Amino acid sequence: MVDRVILGKRGAQSGLFISKPGFDVNVASDDQLLFRTTPGFETLQVVQTARVYLTTGNPVTITVPNLGYYPKVIIQSDWGANAIVSVGSSSHIFHWVDYLSLTSIRLNVEKNNISDTNYSLYVVLREDIASA
């Protein structure tokens, strides 16, 4: 069985490294790695996360570090136990983002026939939306 995970030093680099099945993480090429935290392999690295109060017609603008590109953003309603008060027929909830600049992103929500806490969670990922 080969080593598949390193958290620490790998050659001249330090970070988290995970190899694809069957490849030794100590000697694997970049193509044989499933994940690494070093430059050039930023997919799924979290840049920023928070919980925001977000209601229909009242977007929230967040500021993010300048990564040199528009980063991928994931938004989800924060529905904990007993958070949903009511859901009616033809209910829906949509989240979307507007990129105002490389460092300014507007978070939006549209809800129909849903009564909840109005909190949403967002995650900004170190991934260029143009390459997705």
Q: What is the pLDDT of residues 15-30, one digit of tens each?
A: 899 998 999 999 998 8
pLDDT score of 83 more than 60: no
pLDDT score of 33 more than 70: yes
pLDDT score of 101 more than 80: yes
Q: Which residue, 127, 54, 70, 128, is CA-closest to 103? A: 70
Q: Within a 10 A sphere around the Cβ of 20, how many other Cβ atoms?
A: 13
Q: Which residue, 82, 72, 68, is CA-closest to 115? A: 82
Alpha-carbon distance of 8 to 28, in angstroms, equals: 15
pLDDT score of 100 more than 60: yes
Range in 10-19, 28-37, 38-47, 123-132 with the lowest mean pLDDT: 38-47
Q: Which residue, 68, 72, 50, is CA-closest to 60? A: 50
Name residue 92's beta-bridge partners.
Answer: 112
Q: What is the mean pLDDT of residues 36-46?
A: 76
Say what the pTM is: 0.68
CA distances from 16 to 10, 48, 126 (A): 9, 19, 15
